[in-house]
Chains A and B, each alone.
Chain A
Amino acid sequence: MVALTTTYMGLKLRSPIVPSASPLTRDLESIRAMAAAGAGAITLHSLFEEQIEHEVQLLGAVLDGSENIYSESLDFFPKLTEFRRDERDYLKLIEAAKAAVDTPIIASLNGYSAGGWTRYARLSQEAGADAVELNIYYIPTNPRVSSAIVEDMVVDVLREVKAQVQIPVAVKLSPYFSAMAYMAKRLEEAGADGLVLFNRFYQPDLDIKALETKRTLTLSTSAEMLLPLRWVAILYGQVQTSLALTTGVHTAEDVMKALMTGADVANVCSVLLREGIGKITELISELSIMMSARGYNSIADLKGVLSHEHTPHPEAFERANYVKLIGQ
C-alpha cells in the first residue's frame, strides 16, 4: 500500500493534492466535497486587500459625496448603515469549514501592501485556519518602482503577517522576480513557512473592434506547469520552507512530477473547475497506482528525486537548456 501522506508547513496531510484558492472554495458544500474526495488541505478563496480597505473607502466616498447638498435631501441612505465589512463572511466561512471537515483549512489573503488589512491573518487564525497563504500580487507598472522596492514590499507584508500569527504562513509568488532564488531565500529568512509557485495571473485580452481590453478567464493546461516545475526543482534543497507547486496540474502524472521536483503538495484548480471535484479522488488513485508501479512506497521516497540538486542533468534547469534547445 502506497502512503500518500505528506507534510506541508508542518501540517500532516493525508494526500499531496491541495485545491488552491478559487471560486470553488468559496462554498461550504464544495469544501465538504473536496474533503470527502481526499484533498490533503483546502485553500479557501482569497480575501482581497481591496475588499478590506477599498470597499469601505468607496462606500464612504459615495455617501459623503452626496450629503448636505440640497435642503430636501441632505442624505440618501439610512444612517444606520454600519460598515461591518464582508470580510466577516470570510471568517465565518473558515469557522464553518473547520466545523464541517477534518482537512486542514488554509486561509488565503490577496494583497500587496503592508497595512491594516493584514490583521485578517490574525482573525483567520482566531477563526480556526490552520495556515495562511499570502498571495502577494502586484503589477509594478511604474518605471520608478525598482525591483528592490517590490521585493521589500513583499517581505514587509510577510513580516507584518508573521508578527501577528502563530500558524504557518505560505507566500504565493509571481514568477516575475529578477532573482527568484534570492527572493525565495529572503522570504525564508523573513519567516515564510512555505512558498507557493506560481500565481497564475488573469491576463487581460483585447477587443480589437471596441478598442478596449476585456477580461478573460482561461483555464490552465499541463503545458503551463513547466515554469513552476523548473523553479520548484531549483529551490528544492536551497530553501528549507515547504514548497507547493501550482499552475497546470491536471493529471496524476503532473502531480508526480511536482513531487519529484521537490514540492510537498500540488495545487489543483482548473482541473476541478473543468472536471469537477470528484477529480481529486481520481488523481489520488491514479497517483497511488503510478507510484506503486514505479516502486515508490511513500511521497518521501520520490520527493525531490528530479530536483535540480538530484537530477542527473541539472543543466536542464539552467540556461544551458536554452542553448541546447535552440541548437537543435
Chain B
Amino acid sequence: MAKHQMVTIDGNSAVTLVAHKVNEVIAIYPITPSSSMGEMSDELSAKGSKNIWGTVPLVAEMQSEGGAAGAVHGALQTGALTTTFTASQGLLLMLPNMFKIAGELTSTVFHVSARSLAAQALSIFGDHSDVMAARSTGFAFLASNSVQEAHDFALIAQAATLEARVPFCHFFDGFRTSHEINKIEPLADEDIRAMINDDLVRIHRARALNPDKPVMRGTAQNPDTYFQGRETVNPFYLQTPGIVQAQMDKFAELTGRHYHLFDYVGVPDAERVIVMMGSGAEVAHETVEYLVAQGEKVGVLKVRLFRPFNVVDFVAALPESVKVIAVLDRTKEPGAAGEPLYQDVITALAEVGRAVKVVGGRYGLSSKEFTPAMVKGVFDELKKDAPKNHFTVGINDDVTHTSIACDSAFNIEKPDVVRAMFYGLGSDGTVGANKNSIKIIGEETDNFAQGYFQYDSKKSGAVTVSHLRFGPRPIRQTCQITKANFIGCHQFVFLEQFDMLANAEDGAVFLLNSPFSLEETWNLIPARVQQQMLDKKIRLYVIDAYKVADEAGLGGRINTIMQTCFFAISGVLPRDEAIDAIKHAIKKSYGSKGDKVVQMNYAAVDHTLAHLHQVPLEGKVVNGPALKPVVPDAAPDFVKEVTAMMIARKGDEIPVSKMPVDGTYPTATTQWEKRNIAMEIPVWEPDICIQCAKCAMACPHAVIRLKIYDPEYLENAPEGFRHTDAKGKEFAGKLFTIQVSPEDCTGCGLCVETCPAKDKTDPSRKAINMTPQPPIRERESGYWEYFLNVLPDYNRTEVNLKTVKGSQLLRPLFEFSGACAGCGETPYVRLLSQLFGDRAVIANATGCSSIYGGNMPTTPWAQNQDGRGPVWSNSLFEDNAEFGYGFRLTLDKQVEYARELVQRFRGKLGNELADGLLNAAQLEEADYAAQRERVAQLRIRLADDHSPAAMDLLSLADVLVRRSVWILGGDGWAYDIGYGGLDHVLAQGRNVNVLVLDTQVYSNTGGQMSKATPRAAVAKFAAAGRPLAKKDLGLIAMTYGNIYVAQIAMGANDTQSLRAFREAESYEGSSLIIAYSHCIAHGMPQMNMGFKQQQLAVESGAWMLYRYDPRLTAQGKNPLQLDSREPKVDIADYMYNEVRFRTLRQSDPDRAAELLLLARGDARSRWNHFKQLSELDYSVLAGK
C-alpha cells in the first residue's frame, strides 16, 4: 500500500469524511463525544466541500437531538439522503423518531459515538448503554471496532441501508474510537462512488412525499390492523444481513479489507471463545494472537452486525471445537436475565441446538479500561469447571462478588513498539504537540501510529495525559499504556501529585521539564520517585523548557520544545529528519498565524537540544522530599478513603463497596483538594483597601473572602496576619481582613482587574496585587486557616444585604470549583450560594455548571458552620426547568400538609408557636432564624407524641422554613433544548427562581452556536458569523406579565445584580434572571478582562440591564426598570476585544463590516424598544 495514501485521523473525522460524501442533508445537535462530527460536517460544507453527486450537503443545527431527529425524519420523508450524529442522551431523544423511521422502512444511517447513559451519575465516556437502549427501534446496528473500521463501516452502512431500506445505526466507542487518532487508509472518492448505487438513491427519492403523486404516511391504526402492519417489514429484516454481507464483499473487492457479519480470530480448534463488539474486541484480538502463540486454544468472535442478529452466520462463525463462551457486554441492564449480546448468543445457540456453555460478563462501562490482562482473566475464568456467570471484569466488586480476577502484570506490548506517555497541563500545549507528533510519524514514516488523550475533570489547571504508540504493525491495543518506554513530565509539580513512574518499564526514558538547575533538580525530586527511578533503572533527561520557551518568545508554550526532546531522545526518526519534520509541522500549524510565530517556534526547536541533558543516575542517593498526603488528616473518612483515591488517579482501585449505592455524595469536598494551580495569587494591601468588597464579589472561585470581627479574635493570630480597622460606623471598633486561599486560587486575576483602589503614590499598586505563589504559599495558607477557622463568620441577621459589601460578608457555599480560571458564570453562582445557600434547593441543567458543580472527584457546593448548605441535583440537559418545578411542587404540597398539621396540633404547640409557624414573615435573615427556632420548638413539643400525624409533622417540619428553589443552567438549555419546558414552568407562576448563565454559546461542548449567540459572533455552526440577532429571552418572558425578569451583568453593575437576585428570590412567583457570563469561548486575550467586557457590553448596548417586577404594576408603576443608560460606546469597541467577533474580520472582512452595521442596529433598536416599554403609563392599574 502506498505510503502517501495513509492518513492519521480520529474516529469522528474518519466517519465524517464518508458521511459528508454520501448525504444531502445533515441535521445535528452537539453532544459529547459526537459533536466534532457535526462540526466537521459544517466546516466541510462551509468550505464548499461537495458530496459524491457534486453538491454541497446542507447542515442544520437544531435545538435538541429530538429536534434533529424530527428534522432528519422530515428530510427523509421528502426524499433527501439524510444523516445525523449523536450519542448517549441524544440518542435517547431520537428514539421516538427512530421507531417511526424504521417503521416506515426509510434508508438512513445514524452515526453514534457510543456513550454511557446518565444513571446514578452522568458520564461522557464510552460504552454501549445508549445503543443498547435503542436496539428495539428497528434500526440495524453495525459496530465498528477501530478508526479504520469506523471509516469503512460508515460507507458499508450507507450502501446497505439504501438496498435494505432498513435504517442503520452505525456505532463505535465514544472517546476510545471517536477520539483515538490512528493511521488509516482513507477511502478514495471512486471507492465511495462505487459503493453507492444511484438507482437506489433515486428509488429512495421516489418514495418521498410529493404532491404530484400524493400519498400519506404516519396514519393512526387500530386493533384490527396495527399488528399486521407491524409484521409487514419482516422480509426486509430477513434480507438485511445478506445485503450487509454482500456490501462487505463488494467493499473488499474495492479496498482489500474484508469484513463479515461475524469475524473470528483465533485457532480453528479453539475451546474457549470470547464474543464481543466494539473497540474492546481489538484488545481481545491482539491478546488472542499472543495467547495462541503460547499454545492456548482460544479465539474471539467479533460481532459486526448486531441487529438484525443473524443466527446462522453467528453459529457458522464459531469453531466447532468451542466448549465454553464468554459473551462480553459493554453495558448494564439491571434486573435482566443477562445483558443483550449474551441473551442473543444464548438464544442463537439454543435455536440451533448447540450445547455450549455460555457465560456473560460486563466490562468497560464509561470507558473503563479493557486490557489484555482482562482478556486473559476472562479466558482463565473459562478454564474453570464452573466459570462465573454474569461476571464483571476490570473492577473489584466486593459486594455481590461478580468480578473475576486479572493479573495486572500481564502485558503483551511488543518491544518494537514505542510507547510514550506525556503528562502535561491543558494550557501548555502538550496534547496539541502530541497530535502533531502522531501526524509526523504516521504520515512521514512507515510506522503505524496511535494517540489517545486523557483529560481532567476540572477545567482550570487541567492535567492531560497523552498515550502515543508507534510501531511497524497496525496498532490494535485500544487501551492506555501501562508499560511505557518513554514518559514525559511537562510540569515538575506532577512529581508530587501522580505516580507517573508506575507505568514506566525498566530502563524507560523519563523526560523531566524542570525549572531548577541541573544540580538542584535531583535533590528536589520526591524521594519515592527517586527510588522508583533507581529501581527501574530509568534514563533521566532534564530540560528547562520554560527557559527555552521564554528565550524564544513563546511564553508558557513549551509544546514544541518537549516535542523536539521526544524526537531527539526516542530516535523514532533520525534526528535531522525529525527536526525538519517538526519544522514542517510548525509551518503547517502556525503558518497562517504569521511569520513571527513560525520563527519563534523554529528558534525554540533549534535551542532545545543545547538545553537537553541526560542525568546519569549512577551514584545518586535518595534524598528528595517526602510526599504529602493527598488530602489532609482532618478530611472526613469518605474523602480520605474514596475521594482521595480519585484525586490521586487511583479511582480504578476503589471497590464497589466503597461507592454510594444511589449516586448520593457528600457536599463540600473541594476544600480538601488543594490544587495549587496558580502561579500568582492576589495579596491584600490593607492600607490601600477601601473595603468595597468588589474583589470578593468578582472572585469566580470564592477564594477571596472578607470578615469583620472583634479585635479579641486576633489574640492567637499568626505573625503578620493582615487586618485593618473596619470602615463604616456600623462596624466601629471592629477589624477587617481580606484573605485569599492560596492553594485554591486559580490565579485568574479578575479580582485585581476589578479592584478600584490604587495606591495614591504608586498607582500601579492596587489594594490587591498578583504575587508569585510558591514563596508565600505556606505563610498565606497559615493565614487562610486562621481566617477560615478562628475568625467568626459575620452574623447573617445583622448584615446589610442591600450592599455588595454586606453580601460578601456572607460565607460562600459554593467554593473552589473546577470552572475555567476567571469563569464568568461562577461569580453569580457563588453569590446565589451566599444569599440563599442555607435554604437553597438547586436543579442544574447539564452543561458547564453541572460539570464544575458536580463532576467527581470533588464538588464545590458547600456547607455553613451549622452544616446547612445548598442541595443540588442534575437531571438532564433538556428537562431542568421541569425538574426544578418538581422540587417546587413537592415543597408546595409538603408546606400545605405541614401547615394543616400545625393547625391540627395547635393545642399541643400553643397558639403563639402555631401562629408564628404559620404566619410569621419570612423575608429577611432574622425571619429565617426565628422560624428555624420555632421549628426547633415544635420538635421539642412533639418529641413524645408518636401518633402518625405527629410523626408526619416532625418529618415535614423543616419545610416550614421557606425554601429557595433555584433552577440553573446555561443558554443552550434555556434558549434552546429546554426552552419549551422553561416557558411552561415560568408560565405556571409558582415560586421558582431561574438563573440563566448566558455565555451566548454552548460552552461545555466547545462553543457551538445557540439562539443566545449574538449577531456577528463566530461560533461553531456559525463559522461565517451568526447572521441573526440574539433571541430576547427576557422580553418573551415579560409578555406573561406575572414573571419577575432581570437581565444582569455583574461586571457592569454589581449592585444591580445583587438587587435582582434578592428581588427575584423574594417574589412569590416565577423569576428569571439572565446573567451575562463572559466565557473562555469568547476568546478574550485574557480571562481577567471579563468584567471590563461586561461593562463595555452594557455601555455599548450589546447587553441591557433591567428588572421587570410585576409587583410594581399593582402600585401603578411601570414594572420595567432600566438599569443601563443609553448606549454611549460604539458596539465595535466591545466586540473587537474578543476573538469570536474579531476572527470574522480576518476571515471575511466584508461580511464582518455588514454584520457590524446590523449589530449596531440591534443595539439601537433594543434600546429604543426597552426605553419605550419602560415609559409606558401604568397608573390606571394601581391597586388592581
Contact = CB atoms under 8 A, between A and B. Distances in A.
A319 interface: no
Contacts of A75: 1006-1007
A80 interface: yes
Contact of B455 (A71, A84, A116): A71
A200 B319 CA distance: 89
Contacts of B50: none
A80 B431 contact: no
A59 B1004 contact: no
Interface stretch (A38-46, A85-93, A279-287, A297-305): A85-93
Given A57-B593, A81-B1143, A116-B595, A86 B432 contact: no
A239 interface: no
B592 A82 contact: yes
A279 B1084 CA distance: 42
A72 interface: yes
B46 A73 contact: no
B455 A69 contact: yes
Interface in B423-450: 426-427, 429-432, 435
Contacts of A61: 555, 1085
Nearest to B554: A61
B42 interface: yes
B46 A80 contact: yes
Contact of A83 (B459, B594, B763, B1080): B594
Interface stretch (B493-501, B567-575, B1145-1153): B1145-1153
A212 B1146 CA distance: 32
Given A69-B462, A71-B124, A62 B1003 contact: no
Contacts of B1001: 76
Contact of B1147 (A60, A64, A65, A84): A84
Given A56-B1146, A81-B1147, A72 B1139 contact: no
A74 interface: yes
B432 A211 contact: no
A73 B1004 contact: yes
Nearest to B1003: A73
A78 B1144 CA distance: 11
Contacts of A78: 39, 42-43, 46, 1018-1023
Contacts of B308: none
Pick from A70, A80, A84 the residue with the most CB of B within 10 Å.
A70
Interface string B1120-1140: 000000000000000000011
B1142 interface: yes
A56 B594 contact: yes
B1140 A77 contact: yes
A88 B427 contact: no
B594 A60 contact: yes
A80 B597 contact: no
B566 interface: no
Nearest to B1079: A76
Interface in B1003-1044: 1003-1007, 1018-1023
Contact of A211 (B39, B758, B1083, B1140): B758
Contacts of B1143: 59, 77, 81
A77 B1146 contact: no
B39 A72 contact: no
A61 B426 CA distance: 14
B47 interface: yes
A80 B1083 contact: no
A59 B1084 CA distance: 9
Contacts of A189: none
Contacts of A70: 426, 455-456, 459, 462
Contacts of A85: 1146
A66 interface: yes
Contact of B464 (A57, A63, A68): A68
Contact of B1085 (A58, A77, A83, A86): A58
A315 interface: no
B1018 A60 contact: no
B557 interface: yes
Contact of A81 (B40, B590, B1018, B1084): B1018
A84 B1144 CA distance: 10
B116 to A, nearest CB: 13
Contacts of B851: 72
Contacts of A65: 427
A86 B1083 contact: no
A81 B47 CA distance: 10
B354 to A, nearest CB: 43
Interface in B168-201: 175, 179
A152 interface: no
A67 interface: yes
A294 interface: no
B557 A72 contact: no
B32 interface: yes
Given A60-B597, A68-B431, A211-B758, A73 B1005 contact: yes
Given A62-B1139, A69-B427, A69-B462, A80 B1023 contact: yes
A68 B432 contact: yes
Contact of B593 (A76, A83, A211): A83
A115 interface: yes
A53 B596 contact: yes
Contacts of A58: 1085
Given A53-B596, A116-B596, A63 B1146 contact: no
Contacts of B1083: 59, 62-63, 66, 76-77
Contact of B1146 (A53, A74, A86, A211): A86
A29 interface: no
B592 A83 contact: yes
A55 interface: yes
A211 B760 CA distance: 8
Pick from B47, B426, B1148 the residue with the most CB of A within 10 Å.
B426
Given A63-B1083, A211-B758, A79 B596 contact: no
B124 A53 contact: no
Interface string B1036-1062: 000000000000000000000000000
Contact of A80 (B47, B429, B464, B760): B47
B1137 to A, nearest CB: 11
A56 B1143 CA distance: 9
B1146 A59 contact: yes
Contacts of B594: 52-53, 56-57, 60, 83, 116
Contacts of A76: 1001, 1006-1007, 1020, 1080-1081, 1083
B262 interface: no
B1084 to A, nearest CB: 7
Interface in B574-616: 590, 592-597
A60 B593 contact: yes
B379 interface: no
Given A77-B1007, A80-B43, A62 B1084 contact: yes
B432 A67 contact: yes
B453 interface: yes
Pick from A60, A74, A212 the residue with the most CB of B within 10 Å.
A74
18 contacts: A57-B593, A59-B1083, A60-B594, A62-B1083, A63-B1083, A67-B431, A67-B432, A71-B32, A71-B453, A76-B1007, A76-B1020, A78-B42, A78-B1019, A78-B1020, A78-B1022, A81-B1023, A81-B1147, A89-B1149
Going nearest first, the 7 A-B pairs with the smallest beta carbon separation are: A69-B426, A60-B593, A76-B1007, A73-B1006, A68-B431, A211-B763, A71-B455
Given A57-B596, A66-B1081, A67-B432, 17 more contacts: A59-B1083, A61-B555, A68-B453, A68-B464, A69-B462, A70-B456, A71-B124, A71-B179, A72-B32, A72-B1005, A76-B1001, A76-B1006, A76-B1080, A78-B1020, A82-B592, A83-B594, A84-B1146
Interface of B: 32-33, 35-36, 39-40, 42-43, 46-47, 124, 175, 179, 426-427, 429-432, 435, 453, 455-456, 459, 462, 464, 555, 557, 590, 592-597, 758, 760, 763, 851, 1001, 1003-1007, 1018-1023, 1080-1081, 1083-1085, 1139-1140, 1142-1143, 1145-1149
